[in-house]
Amino acid sequence: MTEIQDVNDWDRQIVKEFRANGGNVGGQLAGAPLLLLTTKGAKSGKLHTRPLVYLSEGGDIYIFAGNRGAPTNPGWYHNLVAYPDVMVELGAEKFEARAIVVDSAERDRLGEIQVQKIPALAELKEKMTRSVPAILLERKK
**5 vs 132 pLDDT, higher one:** 132
Residue 126, pLDDT score: 77
| CATH class held by domain 9-139 | mainly beta
104-125 mean pLDDT = 84
**119 vs 12 pLDDT, higher one:** 12
Contacts of residue 37, defined as CB under 8 A and 6 or more positions apart, other chains included, come to 49, 50, 51, 52, 63, 76, 80, 86, 87, 88, 137
List Cβ<8 Å contacts ≥24 apart for 28-33. 29/53, 32/118
Residue 110 has pLDDT above 70, yes or no: yes
Residue 1, pLDDT score: 52
Residue 38 has phi, psi (to 5 degrees) of -110, 120
What DSSP letter does each residue of the chain carry, written as one string?
--------HHHHHHHHHHHHTTT---GGGTTS-EEEEEEE-TTT--EEEEEEEEEEETTEEEEE--GGG-SS--HHHHHHHH--EEEEEETTEEEEEEEEEPPHHHHHHHHHHHHHHSTHHHHHHHH--SPPPEEEEEE--
Cα-Cα-Cα-Cα torsion 50, 31, 61, 81, nearest 10 degrees, comes to -20
Encode pLDDT of 22-43 as tens digits. 999 998 888 889 999 999 999 9
d(CA 54, CA 104): 18
103-118 mean pLDDT = 89
Residue 7 has pLDDT above 50, yes or no: no
Residue 113 has phi, psi (to 5 degrees) of -65, -45
Question: Quick one: pLDDT band at residue 128, thresholds 50, 70, 90?
Answer: confident
Average pLDDT, rounded, for the chain: 89
Reported pTM:
0.87
Residue 141, pLDDT score: 83
Parse the chain into domains and list their residue ranges: 9-139
Residue 112 has pLDDT above 80, yes or no: yes
Residue 135, pLDDT score: 96
